[in-house]
Structure 1
Amino acid sequence: MATRDFLQQQLSSHAQDTAGSLSHDLATSLSRNDLVLAEVQLSSVFDRGYYQKIILFDVYGKKLVSKELPLKVDNVPLPFSSLLQLQTPPGEAFISEGWRQLGKIVVINQPTFAYQFLWDSFKQQAGLMLLMYSLVFFLTMWLLKIILRPLSLIEHTALDIQNKRFNQILELPNSREFRRVVSAMNSMSSKISEMLSAETSKAEAFRAEAYTDKVTGLDNRKAFDLRLNALLQEDGGFSSGYLIVLEFDGLKEFNHEHGYQEGDQLLADVIKIALSCSELQIGISGRIGGTAFGFVGFDVLSNVIDSEFKALQRKLIGFIEHFSAKNLSFNLGCVHFSAGQTRGELFAKVDLALETARQNGRNVAINFNLADENKIAEGSSGWRALIQSALSEKRWALFTQPVFNLTAQDVFQHEIFSRLIDQQGNFISAALFLPMAMRHQLMTDIDKAVISLVIDQMNSLGYMEANVAVNVSAQSIESESFREWLGEKLVSSQDAGSRLSFELSEFGCGKNMPSTMSFIALLRSYGVLVGFDHFGLAPGSLDLLRKVVPDYIKLDSGLVDAALESEQAQLHLRSVILLANALDVKVIAQNVESAKIKDWLINERIIFGQGYFLSPLARM
């Protein structure tokens, strides 16, 4: 506004100066009554382009000469010139000769240059103000970020607590008020974490009492059998495996001669030697008898097993030679097996291997691979062709089994079971084709086919409002391309995706934790529920539960069976349930096969159950 007033004053002054100057020049022409000369004098000034109007009047106000141009404003936006209009006051001067008045001259300036100057000034000031405002804005945001950083940390910590992760805010703010809030948040998180740690320790103590050998720290016979049975019964858990049994002779005499403490130390050292065979990838290890130990691994190449088995024999011989006990010796038996075999079959074969070793002398190792490799290769090739044709022709059938609320009797979830359909239209159980699918790296393709079919069925069956659970293999969890495919599938099927759960086996999760965490983060970003299947048998189960915090767990049936028979196993199961409830994780019991088991579960406050006693499988 000040600039505009200044320009208007300049325009007025300039017009007045021009009028005064012209009045002197025009006095001569008007005194002679020479209008032509007067017009020439006016034109010489007007043609410069600085004026809008120059008018010459006689003494009676009659217009003698008039020069006019329309108002024009160049290179200035019309809204700007309309908003900030400039007044152009006329400059006037009387023309006289001596005391005689001859006329009057009126000059009005053209405001073009004033508008241009005002527009340029506005742009410069606006640019400077914008720069200053931007600088102030960013400085303000930076200061606010520093000031409000404690609030951001508090928010993240609150979200972590909501997600059952009890972290501490290490950076304490300088502000007294924020410091008190952060300290209170840390205290609350610490107390909850300590409470859960206490429950975890209690559960681990109960587990150790019920399922751990006190001398070696390995699983006892009960735990070994439960874990082995669970993996043998799990569909698609592995394609091949091995069982090694180490049995000592003369340990009783060694204890009498050297003392039980030395005997226990010998066993502990032997276990270290066995577990040091990293290529064996031992998944289950336990003390299955007084002087017998079992080791189980999965999906290890046969030639690797043979080589490591011989190396283990050499290490044990070298270790025993350090002792003077003549009667101390060992027998080693190894049996290769494939999916679908039972625990009884495995131990019958390994007992034969041990007896053969015993009859062949001291420190003998017998490795039995009772399967015909040629037949396995032929069968494997046939299975691969069958699975690939089922994938290309989409020959799959889906069956469901509901998970019930045991007290309300309503359906909480439907678990999906897949069956392959052969060329004759027969259903083939997953327990038969999944091991071969794992061997030929086809599990990812099968999971894609089943998930696509499940989502299509969910979209067409509007009545299925309960959650639908689909099992996902470890191969798919580890596959980055599968995770990308699944993300795209969930985006395109949001309605079905919001009613989906994906179940991961406890055994599969432990194989590759980074991939497992990445996969679970993907599922949760789309609102998909996460569950752990066959949960509770592995030594690290409770750590996994606290680290991941799934939406639900399905207890392995062996835990429930053991709890029905043993008070120690019952205490362990109760501690698992208590920890799960503290983390707001739902607990589901599997293989509910009788009214007795159902009533016991209800009495133990296990709300959800699944099994043939409650409902058989049904075609989806």
Structure 2
Amino acid sequence: MARTQNDRQISHQQGVITLRSLLLLFTGGMLLLVLVAAASVSFDRFRDYMSDQLQGHARDGATAIGLSLSNAIDGRDPVASSSLIDAVFDSGRYLSVVYVNNQGEEVAGRGTSLREVDVPGWFVALADLPLPVGEAEVVRGWSRLGKVRVVSHPGRAYEDLWVVTVRIVAGSALIGGLGLIGLFWMMTRLMRPLRAVEKQAKALGKRDFRRRVDITSTRELNQVTHAMNQMADDLGRLFEGQAKLIQHLRKVNNEDNLTGLASRGAFEQRLKVEVESEERSAPGVLFLIQLEAFAQYNQSYGRDEADRLLIRIAGALNAFVNAHSDSFAGRLTGAGFAVFLPGVSRADGVIWCRQLVEELDGIYSDLSAPMDVAVHAGIAQAAETRKADELMSAADEALRQAQMEEGSACHAADRDRHEHHDSEKWRVMIGEAIAQGQMSLWMQPMISNGDDGVLFHQVFSRMRTEDGWIKAGIFVPMAERFGMIPDIDRWVLERSLALLRLEPDTRLALSLGMVSVASETFRKELLEQLSAAGKERRRLQIGISEQAVHHHRTAVGLLVRGLNRLKVSVIVDRFGVGGVPFSYLRNLRFQALRIDNSFVHDIDSHDDNRFYLESVTTIAHSRGVRVYVTGVETAAEYAALQGVGIDGAMGYHLGRPFEAGH
């Protein structure tokens, strides 16, 4: 909600003037005002000067003509007076020269107009120079004959004033332009730290605390950049602390502190989800593994060597589960381990169990020589009617039978039970389903916490066989194992984009397999297809499992950055599984986390998981990341989750899967 309000505020500020523009406008306006004022004062002073010159010129001309008519020429003779005035008028710059008698009658005179002035008419009207009149008396002896009135011609004054004004304006424009250019250059240099700070602030909003501002400027801006760098460092340390806190909580709740495998409680909780949850229940096999004579080994070689042995065994188990999609392992007792492989038949399980026991026996024998040791394993197959504790009991019984044999051995229970398809049968079935279009797109709603509205629909595939629909949870692990999951993911993506085009109000989310994420070819095809999809892609969310983030960090980084550029939201799928460090959120921009089912199952009675989920939700929200959960199958689970503060939940209790278009 807060992010939405911030986005609205930012959108409202798009038209606000920038600080540099404001400073340029203010300073440029002040500079223009000063130049205009200076030009106006210069113009007025020169205009006054020209007016004075015209006044003096008219007065001198009138005096000279008056003296000439009084002394040199008889002013009573009109012809002589007219000749004198013509001579003076033609030799000087006068607008009019008039000689009148005592009765005011014109004796002689000449005049012209302002039409010959070589300046624009608007400038003449603007300058509007006064036309001063010079007068002088004409006398003869003691007799007053009349008066001479002379008006100077302002044409030359207008021309000089025009030239001066043009030069003043040109000079002011040149000075003002150079001043604005210099001001723009100076402001650009001064504002560089602010632009760098803006980019740093945006990076902080994306949880990238590595960007720093190294540009120096004024003392005040340097203080701002220093404070921003300090804040980025503090936030980075805070994020690291929060990430370490989540990692610690996850280790305490879910990991064995010596081997790093799942603890007994965490393993049994996840096993319960895999075999009992209606949403995820699928065939699979459980291995229970025991190191024989481990107590004697501990006494003979010491605790440190015993711990070293357990760590080596755990490393081999981790390598094994990493090679089998969606499988997981845990430490049950001191030298007892368990492995569950979903979607695996009993026959395939026996083969892989024997290979694993042989590898573990080699490690144990090398470290314990010359002691005589062995590794035993019991196998039990999961079924729809078998509970988790029943599966554990069956595997434990098979383990006891294996321990009765000499040397390392692997024993399988339930030989009379109906077995699921073997690996080759799965390969053929999945290949035919893809090739012959025996796939269907299914959807399940993600419900908003608070208003019970649908945030989006999770999409996945189901496979049609002679026995009916097979859930993705059953055949997808096998498809991952055979490297066929990219073909299924392409099919789901194409159907999802087609559905988005048909239903403009629909929002979807799909999850990619680990093999798809690791494939460079698939990644390029995915980004190209989403780029060509247009606006529909913004209503699609892509899920990437946390295990893929851990094992294929480079490929995931390229994919996430490509999706970010296309404005496609990215979800961390199955969050919390496998002990992956939370620090990857610092460098990768994920928009949401989807908590694994194992933390949700029976959360109403599981205080540790509830506390862990509350901590994850609080820290994720502080980073602007939403939190979703899956596997909600009871009202009690949903009620407990609503108090945690999650953003959305999905499960059979909230909405069952349905076929798209139905």
TM range (shorter): 0.5 to 0.7
CA distance in 2 between counterparts of 1:196 and 1:612 reads: 35
Q: CA deviation at 1:429?
A: 2.5
CA distance in 1 between counterparts of 2:656 and 2:315 reads: 45
Instruction: Tell me if the contact between 2:461 and 2:472 (Cα under 8 Å) persists in the aligned partners.
Output: yes
Which among 434, 446, 449 is matched to residue 476 of structure 2?
A: 434
- 1:313 equivalent in alignment to 2:361: yes
**For 1:332-385, what per-residue CA distance to the aligned partner results, in whole angstroms no more than 9, with x for missing partners?**
326598999986686456435532342124x63437699999973551353144
**For 1:28-61, what per-residue CA distance to the aligned partner results, in whole angstroms no more than 9, with x for missing partners?**
xxxxxxxxxxxxxxxxxxxxxxxxxxxxxxxxxx
Q: Which residue in the other structure is 1:376 paired with? A: 422
Q: CA deviation at 1:590?
A: 1.5
- 1:557 equivalent in alignment to 2:602: no
* C-alpha distance 495-242 of structure 1, shift in aligned 2 (>3 A): same
CA distance in 2 between counterparts of 1:145 and 1:228 reads: 63
Q: Which residue in the other structure is 1:600 paired with? A: 640
Which among 292, 316, 330 is matched to residue 286 of structure 1?
A: 330
Given residue 274 of structure 1, which amino acid in structure 2 is its aligned partner? I
Q: CA deviation at 1:181?
A: 2.9
- 1:157 equivalent in alignment to 2:204: no
Given residue 292 of structure 1, which amino acid in structure 2 is its aligned partner? G
Given residue 616 of structure 1, which amino acid in structure 2 is its aligned partner? R
Q: CA deviation at 1:277?
A: 3.8
- 1:513 equivalent in alignment to 2:553: yes
Instruction: Tell me if the contact between 2:261 and 2:331 (Cα under 8 Å) persists in the aligned partners.
Output: yes
Q: CA deviation at 1:488?
A: 2.5
Q: What is the count of residue pairs matched by the alignment?
A: 465
Q: CA deviation at 1:471?
A: 1.7
Q: Which residue in the other structure is 2:106 paired with? A: none
Q: Say which is worse superposed, 343-352 or 452-461, in terms of deviation.
A: 343-352
Matches within 5 A, 1:206-285: 206-228=249-271, 243=287, 245-249=289-293, 251=295, 264-277=303-316, 280-283=319-322, 284-285=328-329
CA distance in 2 between counterparts of 1:619 and 1:525 reads: 31
Q: Say which is worse superposed, 431-440 or 343-352, in terms of deviation.
A: 343-352
Query: Which structure 2 residue ranges, 5 or more long, are not aligned?
Result: 1-180, 323-327
CA distance in 2 between counterparts of 1:184 and 1:400 reads: 49
Q: Which residue in the other structure is 1:332 paired with? A: 376
Q: Which residue in the other structure is 1:491 paired with? A: 531
Q: CA deviation at 1:250?
A: 6.2
Instruction: Tell me if the contact between 2:444 and 2:657 (Cα under 8 Å) persists in the aligned partners.
Output: yes
Which among 497, 500, 503 is matched to residue 461 of structure 1?
A: 503
- 1:568 equivalent in alignment to 2:608: yes
Instruction: Tell me if the contact between 2:378 and 2:396 (Cα under 8 Å) persists in the aligned partners.
Output: no
**For 1:404-449, what per-residue CA distance to the aligned partner results, in whole angstroms no more than 9, with x for missing partners?**
1231122111111322345x79533223433443344322122112
- 1:580 equivalent in alignment to 2:620: yes
* C-alpha distance 360-159 of structure 1, shift in aligned 2 (>3 A): same
What TM-score, normalized to structure 2? Answer: 0.60
Q: Which residue in the other structure is 2:29 paired with? A: none
Given residue 225 of structure 1, which amino acid in structure 2 is its aligned partner? E
Given residue 270 of structure 1, which amino acid in structure 2 is its aligned partner? L
Structure with the greater alpha carbon radius of gyration: 2
CA distance in 2 between counterparts of 1:238 and 1:147 reads: 65
Q: CA deviation at 1:146?
A: 9.2
Q: Percent of counterpart pairs with the same letter? A: 21
* C-alpha distance 441-309 of structure 1, shift in aligned 2 (>3 A): same
Instruction: Tell me if the contact between 1:237 and 1:508 (Cα under 8 Å) persists in the aligned partners.
Output: no
CA distance in 2 between counterparts of 1:161 and 1:237 reads: 42
Instruction: Tell me if the contact between 2:254 and 2:262 (Cα under 8 Å) persists in the aligned partners.
Output: yes
Which among 384, 397, 405 is matched to residue 360 of structure 1?
A: 405
* C-alpha distance 339-443 of structure 1, shift in aligned 2 (>3 A): farther
Instruction: Tell me if the contact between 1:443 and 1:473 (Cα under 8 Å) persists in the aligned partners.
Output: yes
CA distance in 1 between counterparts of 2:355 and 2:467 reads: 43
- SS for the counterpart of 1:493 is helix
Instruction: Tell me if the contact between 2:284 and 2:382 (Cα under 8 Å) persists in the aligned partners.
Output: yes
- 1:416 equivalent in alignment to 2:462: no
Instruction: Tell me if the contact between 1:236 and 1:434 (Cα under 8 Å) persists in the aligned partners.
Output: no
CA distance in 2 between counterparts of 1:478 and 1:155 reads: 35
Which among 161, 166, 175 is matched to residue 209 of structure 2?
A: 166
* C-alpha distance 348-387 of structure 1, shift in aligned 2 (>3 A): farther
CA distance in 1 between counterparts of 2:253 and 2:450 reads: 29
Given residue 203 of structure 1, which amino acid in structure 2 is its aligned partner? I
**For 1:264-305, what per-residue CA distance to the aligned partner results, in whole angstroms no more than 9, with x for missing partners?**
434421122214549944444432124423356899999887
Matches within 5 A, 1:39-188: 153-169=196-212, 171=214, 173=216, 176-188=219-231
CA distance in 2 between counterparts of 1:175 and 1:248 reads: 74
CA distance in 1 between counterparts of 2:644 and 2:279 reads: 28
Q: Which residue in the other structure is 2:69 paired with? A: none
Q: Which residue in the other structure is 2:176 paired with? A: none
Given residue 387 of structure 1, which amino acid in structure 2 is its aligned partner? A
Q: CA deviation at 1:529?
A: 0.9
Q: CA deviation at 1:517?
A: 1.4
Q: Which residue in the other structure is 2:487 paired with? A: 445
* C-alpha distance 410-314 of structure 1, shift in aligned 2 (>3 A): closer
Q: Which residue in the other structure is 1:57 paired with? A: none
Instruction: Tell me if the contact between 2:320 and 2:356 (Cα under 8 Å) persists in the aligned partners.
Output: no
Instruction: Tell me if the contact between 1:246 and 1:332 (Cα under 8 Å) persists in the aligned partners.
Output: yes
- 1:504 equivalent in alignment to 2:549: no
- 1:617 equivalent in alignment to 2:661: no
Q: CA deviation at 1:581?
A: 1.0
What TM-score, normalized to structure 1? Answer: 0.64
CA distance in 2 between counterparts of 1:250 and 1:421 reads: 48
CA distance in 1 between counterparts of 2:374 and 2:614 reads: 40
- Cα RMSD for the two superposed structures: 4.3
CA distance in 1 between counterparts of 2:400 and 2:484 reads: 39
Instruction: Tell me if the contact between 1:238 and 1:339 (Cα under 8 Å) persists in the aligned partners.
Output: yes
Q: Say which is worse superposed, 147-156 or 465-474, in terms of deviation.
A: 147-156
Instruction: Tell me if the contact between 2:279 and 2:631 (Cα under 8 Å) persists in the aligned partners.
Output: no
Given residue 199 of structure 1, which amino acid in structure 2 is its aligned partner? Q
CA distance in 2 between counterparts of 1:166 and 1:222 reads: 37
Q: CA deviation at 1:531?
A: 1.0
- SS for the counterpart of 2:600 is helix
- SS for the counterpart of 2:570 is strand
* C-alpha distance 159-610 of structure 1, shift in aligned 2 (>3 A): same
CA distance in 1 between counterparts of 2:481 and 2:390 reads: 22
CA distance in 1 between counterparts of 2:635 and 2:354 reads: 48
Q: Which residue in the other structure is 2:433 paired with? A: 387
Given residue 312 of structure 1, which amino acid in structure 2 is its aligned partner? L
* C-alpha distance 297-512 of structure 1, shift in aligned 2 (>3 A): farther
CA distance in 2 between counterparts of 1:359 and 1:174 reads: 81
CA distance in 1 between counterparts of 2:539 and 2:444 reads: 16
Instruction: Tell me if the contact between 1:333 and 1:366 (Cα under 8 Å) persists in the aligned partners.
Output: yes
- SS for the counterpart of 1:561 is coil
**For 1:211-244, what per-residue CA distance to the aligned partner results, in whole angstroms no more than 9, with x for missing partners?**
2334555431012234456677899999998846
Instruction: Tell me if the contact between 2:575 and 2:593 (Cα under 8 Å) persists in the aligned partners.
Output: yes
* C-alpha distance 430-479 of structure 1, shift in aligned 2 (>3 A): same
Q: Which residue in the other structure is 1:351 paired with? A: 396
CA distance in 2 between counterparts of 1:499 and 1:374 reads: 38
